[in-house]
Amino acid sequence: MRSMISAALVLALAAPGLAVAQTASSPPLGGPLVPGVCLMSVAAVDANAKVGQAATARLQELQRAAQAEVNSETAALQADDKALQAQKASLKPSEFDAKARALRTRAAALQQKANLRSQQWELTRQKALQRIHGEMEQVVPAVYKAHGCGLLVDRNAVLGGNMGNDLTKSVVDALDARITTISFDLEPPPAPPAR
């Protein structure tokens, strides 16, 4: 069972855009319900479960804080550059060049910091999703069994048919009963590669 869920998670996370979307104007394919074949959308569980919504809100908060930090330093750097340009005529060329080099060094360091914060945020997002999916894996077997499933298919990979055996809402409800929020902070910077 764990490998089926993991495969569905991998499909949903690795290629969320691969499913062919049914347009509003095309009629549903329908057909008979296939006994034992169940569907679930990991992305929809992530989006609709309380824990997924709480994680999304926290990730947005962390992203705003990181962006504010970078924006503040960018504004200070731009102000210093403007002041240097205003002093250009009164400085010796060697003094101006030295100050300009110092500004370029600060700008490069700021770019590195921005890249680092982006990496930290992505690592944080991945770890939050792993934790949520770990919790999801704890509830899916019971929902799967309760619906008499014999096969679980990623709903986003289905081109059409009778979608009557969709477990997504039941999994969301079960996950909401198990956990509604998680706490986390920005992950530390990734370790530099070993030499």
Q: How many CB atoms lie within 10 A of CB 8?
A: 23
Q: How many CB atoms lie within 10 A of CB 28?
A: 10
Domain boundaries, the chain: 2-6+33-178
Lowest-confidence pick of 13-27, 66-80, 130-144: 13-27
Q: d(Cα 112, Cα 118) in Å, to the nearest integer?
A: 10
Please give the pLDDT value at position 192. Answer: 77
Please give the pLDDT value at position 30. Answer: 78
Q: d(Cα 41, Cα 11) in Å, to the nearest integer?
A: 10
What is the average per-residue pLDDT within 61-67?
96
Share of residues in the chain with pLDDT > 90 (%): 77
Q: d(Cα 38, Cα 165) in Å, to the nearest integer?
A: 5
Please give the pLDDT value at position 1. Answer: 39
Please give the pLDDT value at position 28. Answer: 67
Please give the pLDDT value at position 7. Answer: 35
**pTM of the full structure:** 0.76
Contact in structure between 42 and 13 (CB atoms under 8 Å): yes
